[in-house]
Amino acid sequence: MKIKSADVVVTSPGRNFVSLRLETEDGVVGWGDATLNGRELAVVSYLRDHVNPLLIGRDAGPIEDTWQYLYRGAYWRRGPVTMAAVAAVDTALWDIKAKYANMPLYELLGGRSRRGLLSYGHASGGDLPQLFDSIDQHLDEGFRAVRIQTGVPGLGPVYGVAGDPGDQGPDGSAGVAPRPSEELWDTRAYLRHLPAVFEAVRAKYGPELLLLHDGHHRMTPTQAAQLGKRLEPYDLFWLEDCTPAENQEGLRLVRAHTTTPLALGETFNTIWDYKTLISEHLIDYVRSAVTHTGGITAMRKLVDFAAMHQIKAGMHGPTDVSPIGMAAALHLGLAIHNFGIQEFMPHSERTLTVFRTSYRFEDGLLHPGDRPGLGVELDLEAAAAFPYEAAYLPVNRLALDGTVHDW
């Protein structure tokens, strides 16, 4: 079970994806996702120049040992580039191991804990009528949970939203450009506007529909505490990324003032980033993606730590996580006990001509499928037709005076 080859595949079928392909001497292929939106080529170099040469001739079997070898062996720890690279190797090794065992990966992780994974989609609109149309569309597709984002009057595009449901952009709107686009922001206008949006949505759709919202790191702890309190009557499933997540202690203030459930961590890349948040139960859901957090090995440890504090997994699943990364989340989510919800932004048809997936969405639940391994194969010929295109996430500035703000 020695690794014979390690290759990085970069493809841009509407947006950039970085994938790692490992092949063993007896011809078993494993795939890992290494996509870091807006900084893709840094991970490509990390893998090609520093990791892949170490993998050739190495036994594919001891996954924990390889994880430690790459993490501790680098001396320089953590960080999104390193952890995306480690994640890709780890995920590809799990894919290989499950293919050897001739089982879908979730079986190897302990077997299923539920019928399928409750998933939420992105309902977005510049104004209320557009938002309602988007919610209706999600309900027609079978979603039982939706993330609600709207434009704030006077501030231009809705943040954190695909302009083209086909795929392009950050989750999003940056598209292919030599420089990041710039957006404008006003937190006070947002705080005035948002509770009325949730009031209207609850009035139209009733109490059952699960509603989520992403604050995208834009508030201070004080502002987030105010918003959480104002949203309490609308019974949110979660308020996500209410503050810049690296200030873990800041969440104490938010938590002390509101019972709106909190989700956080899509920009984190290790369990250490959650130490205070989890041990003091300052959040309710961990938002990391397998792709950005060192793979299945590391994500499993993180959700087990979270479980001790009744915190659940709500793994990041925008379209900038590739179908390989999405499949990894689905297998893990099916197996663990403390699963909460899975974000699901479907990839475009074009992306799915490159990544052949076996997962499916049915009756509001995602199912990883029963093919051995992750159940995703990348078609190398199809991928070659879509070369890398430089693209950035947007940069955000305060409308008041142009100061750079968190996007």
Query: Applying CB under 6 A, which residues contact ligand KDG?
Result: 37, 160, 170-171, 214, 216, 266, 316, 318, 320, 343, 393
Question: Residue 92 corresponds to which amino acid?
Answer: A
Look at residue 138 and give the partner it binds from Mg ion, ligand KDG, none, a contact being a CB closer than 5 to 8 Å depending on partner kind: none
Closest CA to 332 of 146, 120, 117, 100: 117
Look at residue 320 and give the partner it binds from Mg ion, ligand KDG, none, a contact being a CB closer than 5 to 8 Å depending on partner kind: ligand KDG
Shortest Å, Cβ 396 to Mg ion: 14
> Hey, what's the torsion of the CAs at 95, 172, 317, 234, to 10 degrees?
180
Shortest Å, Cβ 339 to Mg ion: 18
Give the CA distances from residue 75 to residues 17, 71, 89, 224, in Å, rounded to whole numbers and listed in that order.
Answer: 27, 7, 18, 37
Shortest Å, Cβ 162 to Mg ion: 13
Closest CA to 165 of 308, 290, 348: 348
Half-sphere exposure of 291 (CA within 13 A, CB side): 30
The answer to whether the CB of 14 falls within 8 A of the CB of 166 is yes
Look at residue 343 and give the partner it binds from Mg ion, ligand KDG, none, a contact being a CB closer than 5 to 8 Å depending on partner kind: ligand KDG
Look at residue 377 and give the partner it binds from Mg ion, ligand KDG, none, a contact being a CB closer than 5 to 8 Å depending on partner kind: none
Give whichever of 167 and 214 is closer to Mg ion, judged by the CB atom.
214
Spatial strand order in the sheet of 29-33: 3-11, 17-24, 29-33
Positions in the binding site for Mg ion (CB under 5 A):
214, 266
CA–CA separation, 127 vs 233, rounded Å?
Answer: 21
Q: Cite the active site residues.
A: 159, 216
For 358-380, give the DSSP string.
--EEETTEEE--SSSBTSEEE-H
Give whichever of 104 and 318 is closer to ligand KDG, judged by the CB atom.
318
Look at residue 170 and give the partner it binds from Mg ion, ligand KDG, none, a contact being a CB closer than 5 to 8 Å depending on partner kind: ligand KDG
Is 8 strand, coil or helix? strand
Shortest Å, Cβ 241 to Mg ion: 5
Give whichever of 38 and 61 is closer to Mg ion, judged by the CB atom.
38
Give the CA distances from residue 73 to residues 16, 54, 77, 82, 299, in Å, rounded to whole numbers and listed in that order.
Answer: 29, 11, 9, 12, 20
Shortest Å, Cβ 104 to ligand KDG: 25
Question: Residue 71 corresponds to which amino acid?
Answer: Y
Q: Which helix (H) or strand (E) holds 396?
A: strand 395-398
Look at residue 291 and give the partner it binds from ligand KDG, Mg ion, none, a contact being a CB closer than 5 to 8 Å depending on partner kind: none
Contact residues for 402 (Cβ-Cβ < 8 A; gap 6+): none
Give whichever of 9 and 210 is closer to Mg ion, judged by the CB atom.
210
Give whichever of 284 and 377 is closer to ligand KDG, judged by the CB atom.
284
Shortest Å, Cβ 206 to Mg ion: 26
Shortest Å, Cβ 51 to Mg ion: 28
Give whichever of 95 and 214 is closer to ligand KDG, judged by the CB atom.
214
Residue nearest to Mg ion (CB): 214
Closest CA to 122 of 169, 191, 183, 187: 169
Look at residue 90 and give the partner it binds from Mg ion, ligand KDG, none, a contact being a CB closer than 5 to 8 Å depending on partner kind: none
Give whichever of 186 and 266 is closer to Mg ion, judged by the CB atom.
266
Spatial strand order in the sheet of 182-185: 182-185, 395-398, 404-405
